[in-house]
Amino acid sequence: MEKLKILVVDDEDRMRKLVRDFLVRKDFVVVEAEDGEEAIKIFFDDKNIKLIILDVMMPKMDGWEVLETVRKYSQVPVIMLTAKSDERDELKGFELGVDEYITKPFSPKILVARVEAILRRSIGEKNDTISAGGIVVNKAAHTVEVDGKPVELSFKEFELLTYFIENQGLALSRETILNNVWNYNYFGDARTIDTHVKKLRSKIGSKGDYIKTVWGMGYKFEADQ
């Protein structure tokens, strides 16, 4: 099986080496960039990068600029690393399309576990398709069609839509959604879910009405039959 390639972007040599060493032990191929401009060049030159680990504070181009540039052309999963713990920064990351958000200092083993979980889900282990009310989700190809037209979703938006469809008709609390879609003990607040739901509703157009707000609790997905 071909080894999966990961781009690690950080201006600190020590941090890149730490992350690289743990990823290489798990049989990943690691490509490194020390600033945002180098990261952009590498990403668009190499079409085989499956995930990006991206620092926020860097010279030339910061992580936000890199993320915005990448998201114009690709939905490759992105894990954001930052020394900041301000929840406004975290919400900004999710608005721009971050899939995971990790605050320094962090456990390299936990980072690798999250990388593996994201890649398992983004690449797909089963060739199954689910559908509801004109929305078709191909979990293996990681594609979504609405009334026959392709829709580009971020990794977390895709996971959220899949979870909604698989649990349609059920009232889901924000805590339940976080535990199942984020797949780890996430210490964020309800706005993380609300931010993703808002963007998901917008991207699937009129089908966004299928995602009902359950006031004081969370959300429920109900499609027209």
CATH number reported for the structural domain that contains residue 215 in this entry: 1.10.10.10
Mean pLDDT of the chain: 86
Tokens representing residue 130 in the block: 């689910």
The CATH number assigned to the domain holding 69 equals 3.40.50.2300
The larger pLDDT score, comparing residue 84 to residue 161, is at: 161
| CA–CA separation, 136 and 1 (whole Å) | 29
User: What pLDDT score does 153 carry?
Assistant: 92
| Mean pLDDT score, 84-111 | 77
| 102 lies in the same domain as 171 | no
Write down the pLDDT at residue 184.
Answer: 53
Ranges 65-69, 70-74, 96-100, most confident: 65-69
Considering the domain architecture, whether residues 112 and 14 belong to the same structural domain is answered as: yes
Choose the final residue of a domain: 102, 123, 144.
Answer: 123
Which residue range forms the structural domain that includes residue 49? 5-123
- Mapped onto helix, strand or coil, the DSSP state of residue 79 is strand
pLDDT computed for residue 205 by the predictor: 94
Residue 69: name the closest of 33, 104, 103 by CA.
33
Q: How far apart are CA 67 and CA 97, in angstroms?
A: 8
Domain count of the fold of the chain:
2
pLDDT 10s digits, 139-149? 878 889 999 99
For residue 130, give the DSSP letter: E
195 and 99 assigned to the same domain: no
Domain boundary among 123, 156, 186: 123
The residue to which tokens 């980072």 are assigned: 111
User: Where does a domain end: 56, 90, 123?
Assistant: 123
Q: 206 with 105, same domain?
A: no
Average pLDDT over residues 57-84: 87
- Residues 107, 29 share a domain: yes
Whether residue 58 sits in one domain with residue 99: yes
Residue 22, pLDDT score: 93
Give the pLDDT confidence score for residue 221 in this predicted structure.
94
